Amino acid sequence: MKVHIGLDDTDSPRGGCTTYLGALLVERLLAMGTEFIDYPNLIRLNPNAPWKTRGNGAVCLRVRCPPEALEKVEEVIFETLEENSDLTCKNTNPGAVIHVGDVPPEVRKFARRAITGLVELEEAIALIRRFGDSALGLKEGRGLIGALAAIGEVLDGDHTYELLAYRTPENRGKRRRVDADSVFRMDDATRPLTFNNVDPQTRRVLITPRGPDPVLLGIRGETPEAVYEAFQMLIVEEPIERWVIYRTNQGTDAHLANVSRIADLRPHYPAIIEGTVLEEPRTIQGGHVILRVGDGSGEVDCAAYEPTGDFRRVVRSLVPGDVVRVYGGVRLRGEGHGVTLNMEKLEVLHLAPKVVYENPLCPRCGRRMESMGRGQGYRCRRCGLRRRDAGKREVVLKREVREGLYLPPPRAQRHLTKPLQRYGRENRGFNGCLIDRWHYP
Ligand code: ATP
């Protein structure tokens, strides 16, 4: 029988990672004689959901197991969840769901909504009951949402892979010892089959996260072979406890599904809007750039934050009248202040002419004339010529920005954001075959 195991919300800012639990379970489930029918799935849910600690990731393991082993499998899953969750953290509310058989369309739909919006715990519980799933929710059990959603996202459309390697306990919390030069060499050798290994501008290594979690590194790519080969190229100067290749919706824009009217924007939802730039972009304290966009239904401030680096240059170079498509997440700005759209991507659809008005040139000596006051005409300082009928000249400036798609640099992209290099490289479906080496041990 086919068994789908969803897991979520086991970690806290102090440590842990639901993918690590997934990796532990790979070893335990294989030891029990189950067979994996897919790579473990790492499903990123709505990145704007207010309850997330970091990347809003949930995990699903899909196995075939003999019916008589099911009870034991459930026992191992629930035990591992209890042992490996940080239950002391207020915001950690672990959940595990076990579904037998094919994934029902209702659960798929639930997953889409959890990725592109917000869902309620009651809905998850109702679906779990309806399909007779086994489930364990600890504390408030909010993790049941992510666990069920991970089961429901079967990744039959675009997807990518991430090889995640984990540290031994004594090293967790310490500096990650991965040779940076080897990461750059690996990046050169494997791009575009891997992506976002490094940030080219700052030369920062991006495969190693920061923080006390057990993840040593993660390599993202288009195929399991590519991430495995890339991993072999690295010089790692600390022991690796285990690693596993995940199949994932990272880098696919899965959260950015719907174009909204500005009037329909809802806090904590990802959104795409199309509209016209209404004012000169403003740079506010902290270096953030704000773009006011309107679409006939309403107006909204779109923000490019300081960490988005040069992306802000593009935003700053827009002028009123430009037509744009903005991709991002809706943030509540505080009581009574409406919402802001945090920009993840910007498409410049149409550039308006950028016009400046200059004082006229003196028809006698060619020098720029100066105004004699409002409606009084112009005079030339050099030769003294006065012209009451002269007016300002309209000059159309060359635009520094072109129509096209713009993204923040890799260091500022979200897990789900589809990088530029992935356009035209989308993966379709999964043939059910796993490469030999997809996990260790
Ligand atoms: P990770 O560290 O693994 O990347 P995270 O720590 O950021 O993820 P979780 O610990 O998984 O996030 O916490 C997110 C919580 O919010 C979970 O309990 C999950 O069930 C819930 N959740 C996720 N997406 C939604 C959503 N769209 N609507 C409602 N609740 C959600």
Instruction: Give tens-digit pLDDT for 145-156.
Output: 999 999 999 999
Query: How far does residue 57's CA lie from ligand 1's centre (Å)?
Result: 6
DSSP 259: B
Using the structure block, give the residue that is written with the tokens 């790692």: 236
- State in Å: Cα 45 to ligand 1 middle: 7
Q: Is the pLDDT of residue 11 over 90?
A: no
Residue 94 Cβ contacting ligand 1 at under 6 Å: no
Over the stretch 104-146, which tens digit does the pLDDT of each residue have?
999 999 999 999 999 999 999 999 999 999 999 999 999 999 9
With a 6 Å cutoff on the Cβ, whether 11 touches ligand 1 is yes
By DSSP bridging, strand 288-294 and strand 270-277 are antiparallel
Q: What is the pLDDT of residue 88?
A: 85
Average pLDDT on 279-301 reads: 96
pLDDT at 391: 87
Judge contact between 328 and 341, C-beta under 8 A: yes
Q: What angle do CA 116, 120, 126 make, to 5 degrees?
A: 115
Judge if the beta carbon of residue 142 lies within 6 A of ligand 1: yes
Residue 435 scores a pLDDT above 80:
yes
The rounded Cα 222 to chain-centroid distance in angstroms is: 16
How close is the Cα of 156 to the center of ligand 1, in Å?
22
- The CATH architecture that domain 262-351+399-421 belongs to is Beta Barrel (2.40)
Q: Establish whether residue 9 lines the binding site of ligand 1, counting it when its CB lies within 6 angstroms of any ligand atom.
A: yes
pLDDT of amino acid 54: 84
Q: In the predicted model, what is the mean pLDDT of residues 25-48? A: 97
Stretch 32-43: mean pLDDT:
97
- Non-local CB neighbours of 46 within 8 Å, separated by 6+ positions: 56, 114, 115, 116, 117, 118, 255, 268, 269, 270
Is the minimum distance from the CB of 322 to ligand 1 under 6 angstroms?
no
* Cβ 234 vs Cβ 240: under 8 Å: no
Q: Whose CA is nearest to atom 14 of ligand 1?
A: 52
Handedness of CA 203, 193, 29, 128 (dihedral sign): positive
- pLDDT above 90: residue 13: no
Helix axes 143-152, 105-116, angle to 10 degrees: 120
Is the distance from the beta carbon of residue 408 to the nearest atom of ligand 1 less than 6 Å? no
Cut 0.85: pTM above it: yes
CB of residue 7 inside a 6 A radius of ligand 1 = no
Question: Per-residue pLDDT for 60 more than 70?
Answer: yes
Atom of ligand 1 nearest to the CA of 54: 7
Pick from 10, 42, 45, 118 the residue to mutate for probing ligand 1's pocket: most ligand atoms within 8 Å of its CB: 45
Residue 336 has pLDDT above 70, yes or no: no
Between CA 308 and CA 410 the distance in angstroms is: 9
E strands present in 138-214: 160-167, 194-195, 198-199, 204-205
Q: Using a 6 Å cutoff on CB, does residue 47 contact ligand 1? A: no
Closest-CA residue, ligand 1 atom 11, reads: 9
Residue 153 beta carbon below 6 angstroms from any ligand 1 atom: no
Per-residue pLDDT of 212-229, as tens digits, reads 999 999 999 999 999 999
Name the closest-CA residue to atom 13, ligand 1. Answer: 52
Angle between helices 224-232 and 180-190 (to 10 degrees): 140
Count CA atoms closer than 13 A to 383's CA, side-chain side.
12
How many other C-beta atoms can be found within 10 angstroms of the C-beta atom of residue 188?
11
For the chain, what is the mean pLDDT? 95
Q: What is the mean pLDDT of residues 1-9?
A: 96
Residue 334 has pLDDT above 80, yes or no: no
- What percent of the chain has a predicted confidence (pLDDT) above 70? 99
**Does residue 146 line the site of ligand 1, with CB under 6 A?**
yes
Q: Domain 160-253: give its CATH architecture.
A: Alpha-Beta Complex (3.90)
Ligand 1 pocket residue status of 270, Cβ below 6 Å: no
Q: What separation in angstroms does the CA of 251 have from each of 213, 293, 336, 418?
A: 22, 26, 34, 4
- Pocket lining: 242 vs ligand 1, CB cutoff 6 Å: no
- The arrangement of secondary structure in 2-156, i.e. its CATH architecture, is 2-Layer Sandwich (3.30)
Structure tokens at 321: 């009248």
What local confidence, expressed as pLDDT, does residue 335 receive? 65
Nearest to 57 by CA among 213, 177, 259: 213
Count CB neighbours of 349 within 10 A.
14
Q: What is the pLDDT of residue 387?
A: 93
**C-alpha dihedral, 400 to 404 to 408 to 413, nearest 10°:** 180
User: Whose CA is closest to 99, among 69, 76, 70?
Assistant: 70
How do the domains of the chain map onto residue ranges? 2-156, 160-253, 262-351+399-421, 354-397
Q: Is the pLDDT of residue 85 over 90?
A: no
Atom of ligand 1 nearest to the CA of 119: 28
- E-only strand ranges, 45-106: 57-64, 95-100
